Amino acid sequence: MIKNLVFDFGGIIADFEFSRALVAFERVGLKNPAEYLDSYHQRGFFRELESGRIGADEFVRRLGECAGREVSYAEAREAWLGFFLLPVSLERLACLEELRRDYRLYVLSNTNPFVMDWARSSEFSPAGKPLDAYFDKLFLSYEMKCMKPDRAIFDRMAAEAPLVPAETLFIDDSAANAAAGAALGYRTFCPRSNSDWREEVRRILGAGV
């Protein structure tokens, strides 16, 4: 019986468009953003940020070095938010509120402090609610200092929630992340990025499988 739902963030809760992020970082002055950015797993100092090995200030400094000019925190934040297609769907958020009446809801995301500075504020939702208002707990790679699809982040989430993988539906648009969860005993659903997953999640929960 499923008792917990674990959601990825980008592409599941908030829609994103990878090409927009490339343009946003080019606008800051980064000459080769595709070397660092990916739809699911970043590289270089972008990955160091999302894995918690460097913080926001160090990221801004290194972004400035690559851009050949001083870059502000606000510019870096705006560039990271270039990933997302806003506003976040109110219908999707309403579905989360409905699901939370019967299940415990969590986020498990490879993300960073710039994105969460927005997501954990009243700017996140057209209703003025932060991401935290829709979930029991957020498990964020930069805070946990480990990333999907590594086993460590799943094990820490299970211990800290706490939750039992076999009682948990894990929803992620990355096939690699979904496969990692399935290998650890999670029920998994891997929808297409930015798709409307609501009906299929309800079907899975209704079937109990």
Q: What is the pLDDT of residues 114-144, one digit of tens each?
A: 999 999 999 999 999 999 999 999 999 999 9
Q: What is the pLDDT of residues 137-185, one digit of tens each?
A: 999 999 999 999 999 999 999 999 999 999 999 999 999 999 999 999 9
**pLDDT, the chain, mean:** 96
Note the pTM of the prediction, 2 decimals. Answer: 0.96
**Is 8 a known active-site residue?**
yes
* 3-class SS shares of the chain: helix, strand, coil, % to 5: 45, 10, 40
Question: 106-132 burial, b if ≥16 CB within 10 A, otherwise e?
Answer: bbbbbbbbbbbebbbeeebbeeeebbe
Residue 68 confidence class, pLDDT cut points 50, 70, 90: very high
- Which residues are CB-contacts of 35 (< 8 A; sequence separation ≥ 6)? 43, 44
- Among 8, 15, 172, 173, the one annotated catalytic: 8
Instruction: Enter the tokens of residue 132.
Output: 């935290």
Measured between alpha carbons, how far is 76 from 45 in angstroms, rounded to an integer?
A: 13
- Tell me the average pLDDT across 49-59: 98
Measured between alpha carbons, how far is 93 from 126 in angstroms, rounded to an integer?
A: 10
CA-based angle 3:4:7, to the nearest 5?
155
- Report H helices in 89-164: 90-99, 113-119, 141-144, 151-160
Give SS3 for 39. coil
